[in-house]
Chains A and B, each alone.
Chain A
Amino acid sequence: MEDSTSKDGGRPARPTVGLFVTCLVDLFRPSVGFATIELLEKAGCDVAVPVTQTCCGQPAYNSGHRKETAAIARQVIAAFEGFDHVVAPSGSCAAMISHHYPALLADDPSWVQRAQKLAAKTHELTSFLTDIVSLKTVDAAMPSNTTVTYHDSCSGLRELGIKAQPRALLSQVENLELREMEDSEVCCGFGGTFCAKYPAISEVIVSAKTKTIAATDADLLLAGDMGCLMNMAGRLRREGRSTEVRHVAEILAGMTDAPPIAGTEEERS
């Protein structure tokens, strides 16, 4: 970790973390943002939330709008490069910054280095908590015995290698039993704009997913990316299944006051 002692010596300084909220958390699930802050502070970080952030630009990037995305990337770099670390409660947005910004700005000599520097200190939340700051104890408990199943979101899994980290953290949560679903590494069919452009195909893919989720008979589905969570939650509710859905950060922070994503089955009218 850089900057482990403060300038006046002695007492170790708290690393500063810029929270990259992500557009979906901002709009749909503020609880995840607060849970993330809670976890980062518990891990000894000073958290700040730059107000000039909007989105990482991935929807535009994956739609072929490269120039516009580069402009968004410059804005994110400028807003976040002053922190020791940047953390996002999303593998997909973290990978956008850490993997794709440097490639996106490769031809821009005045920005490429800044992009690389930011890339090197940008992390997905569960990976940051395990690989970078090693949060000692999660210190969370489910109110009652709960079985959960975990979906490995594609970007986090394949671009960032996130697989063991959330499971290691969840294993510390009391009253929680992890029950793996079959094919947890298979895409849920969200794919950003994909689900809007090819809804019929997306439906086939997400239906296969909800089937494997339901087969575990778990009470709760967790994942680390809002896009996938909204997709799977929306489909589970539509199918009338009872599995509740939350972002992994909510459980790790013990912040489960908000109703689950897309509500609960009982609330179905």
Chain B
Amino acid sequence: MSSARKTILERIGKAMDEGLVPTLSERQQGANARLSEKKPALVPASANVFGEEAIALFSAKAEAVNATVVRISSSAEIASAVTDYLATKNLPAKIRRGADPLLDQAGWESEPLLDVSIGPSDGSDIAGLSVAASAVAETGTLTLCSGPENPTTLNFLPDYHLIVLPVDRLHGSLEKSLRRLVDEATVEDRALPRVVNLVTGPSRSGDVEQQIVLGAHGPRALHIILLG
């Protein structure tokens, strides 16, 4: 409906010409300036954290929204961290994961009883494992990018979602985290990944009498494995 497009833009243009920002070229300049500047408006002081301080803040915030957090020092310990978690939850030793290269050296061979499969989820998996693209300390938020190596279905269909976060991917503020993603993703004019999921705790609903219940349509539990 290109005529709809034309009418809408004309209506807006007319309102603008009659008083908001006078000319189209001024509007273009104004918008272009903002788009190229990419300036954060006001980042809270509490988001201005680095290193161990950022890790501590991230962990505290994630736990405050009902996620659990463990820390390991090398990627070879991922498999045992997964087994441990499944065991404490009394779950079968079975995990569905993506093909993220970080998970190639996860020490799977040291956990022979763990049943590991690779690929998206069809809804039958109890536990899924992903790798975070980045994270935000100020709110305990993980950023997950879709792609061949991290299928989106893993983030939502399994009841238990385990996420590996290499600590060097942690940023203080949401702005920094998102800007890094955009910068990395859009080199050579490529678009952002199809979806970027910002995840802050396991799913929940307050729709019955405003009482918060964990485990709505997404995972009932979120387990974060900090790496490094």
Query: Does chain A touch chain B in the assembled complex, meaning CB atoms less than 8 Å apart?
Result: no
